[in-house]
Amino acid sequence: MIELKHIEKSHPQGDSRLFVLRKVSLAIGEGEFVSIVGPSGSGKSSLLSVLGLLDADWTGEYLFDGQPLHAMKPKQRAEFARNNIGFVFQQYHLIDDLTVRENLELPLDYRDMPRSERQARVADILDRFQIVGKKDLYPRQLSGGQQQLVAVARAVVARPRLLLADEPTGALHSSQGDMIMDLLAELHRDGTTIVQVTHNPAYAARAGRTVELFDGWLK
Ligand SMILES: Nc1ncnc2c1ncn2[C@@H]1O[C@H](COP(=O)(O)OP(=O)(O)OP(=O)(O)O)[C@@H](O)[C@H]1O
């Protein structure tokens, strides 16, 4: 499904450049669950941002079902990401002054979808994630684990084919972390392709494959 070829990314550093991704080539098949691991600063988040099209400042090739995303214009890329990719961050990134239900509606607002269908999708996801009782609360009224649950729900409400998670359990207690990992495993069983960044070896091992970065190089 995904093919990265010779991805390079660097930041200016004095007169030269600091490379954070070096000739990264990686293929990810449809339905795979992959963990990206490596020391702090090795480029894990940078690689996930490239995969999520959150970042356009890199070189190389990114093919998705054979489509060259690297050649798309920014507007096309953004639309492709909205239609195909969900992203979960370590710090939830929910919108504080929207309720849980409104946060979940956001990814569907950009879709050409009747209002009744949008409402049905949100109702489904509230049910599936067992957060119906929280739908009218604001993020600050939820625990960290519950906020991350909503963040995962928001990332998958539009049914993305690729789910990217950057340290999704990093800010959570272990029981809440386990709950989020169980949820990722369930989404994977249902066919979603997942790539996660994690420092937790037990959570990394729950994926089918682990890839390791070191100083921007894939080991
Ligand atoms: N905007 C930036 N300007 C300069 N350097 C940056 C910038 N963003 C990231 N870097 C550098 O890029 C390198 C890779 O960062 P990245 O966040 O991808 O690493 P990581 O493996 O995810 O680290 P961690 O495990 O600590 O989150 C680091 O050396 C970081 O300092």
| CA 10 – ligand 1 centroid, Å | 10
| CA 134 – ligand 1 centroid, Å | 35
- Give ligand 1 pocket residues (Cβ under 6 A): 11, 18, 20, 38, 40-46
Nearest CA to ligand 1 atom 4: 11
* 8 Å CB contact between 158 and 110: no
- Predicted confidence at residue 91, as pLDDT, reads 87
* 8 Å CB contact between 6 and 217: no
pLDDT tier for residue 172 given thresholds of 50, 70 and 90: confident
| CA 204 – ligand 1 centroid, Å | 20
All domains in the chain, ordered by first residue: 2-218 (3.40.50.300)
Sign of the Cα torsion 38, 187, 157, 202 reads negative
Mean pLDDT of 178-201: 94
pLDDT > 70 in the chain, percent: 100
- Predicted confidence at residue 109, as pLDDT, reads 84
Nearest CA to ligand 1 atom 30: 41
Per-residue pLDDT tens over the stretch 48-86: 999 999 989 999 999 999 999 999 999 999 999 999 999
- Predicted confidence at residue 92, as pLDDT, reads 83
Ligand 1, atom nearest to 213 Cα: 21
Lowest-confidence segment of 65-74, 120-129, 170-179 by average pLDDT: 170-179
Residue 110 above 90 pLDDT? no
Mode of pairing for the β-strands spanning 59-64 and 162-166: unpaired
